[in-house]
Structure 1
């Protein structure tokens, strides 16, 4: 990490560990590009493709806690 007097520490490029897309994910994305053409792919198309993996990557306890907080907020707001 690099440190600065004026800013919080900034992670180096090597510090970030981004997950590599799996082969099937890459094929799905390329399939959409081939079907529709690169200039015709919308954000909604990509969101539809990526959403299932994103939802699956969130642990169930986190989902349960978030749902509980949403219910608590809605109950408090409705009074």
Structure 2
């Protein structure tokens, strides 16, 4: 009986993980579709790499430089819509 419960718990955790990952991907796609700032962000990180040199830039450097600009480029309406979707997801899947 304990083995079955453990197996059920593991299966439930795996399903919940896949559900969360799937929802995260849906949110990313919605953001890409509504924002239209991908080209601007790509140009910005390319500029950072040129300034610092490929050999001297790290992923952490890029993240620190690009994240604030990316957040600023997303319109408030898009941010609010994504936040509503996240809240709805969390409400519907409160047992996760």
Q: TM-score range with shorter-chain normalisation?
A: 0.5 to 0.7
Aligned to 2:83: 67
Aligned to 1:54: 70
Higher relative contact order (CA 8 A, sep 6+): 2
Deviation at 1:40, TM superposition (A): 3.5
Query: Unpaired runs of 5+ in structure 2?
Result: 1-38
Aligned to 1:7: none
Query: Unpaired runs of 5+ in structure 1?
Result: 1-17
TM-score by length of 2: 0.45
In angstroms, what is the RMSD of aligned CA positions? 2.7
CA-to-aligned-CA distance 1:7-38 (integer Å, 9 cap, x gap): xxxxxxxxxxx55x58xxx4xx31xx2xxx64
Aligned counterparts of 2:82 and 2:58: Cα–Cα separation in 1: 29
Structure with higher helix content: 2
Deviation at 1:73, TM superposition (A): 0.1
Aligned to 1:78, the other structure's residue is in SS state: coil
Q: How many equivalent pairs are there?
A: 53
Extract structure 1 runs of 4+ deviating beyond 4 A: none
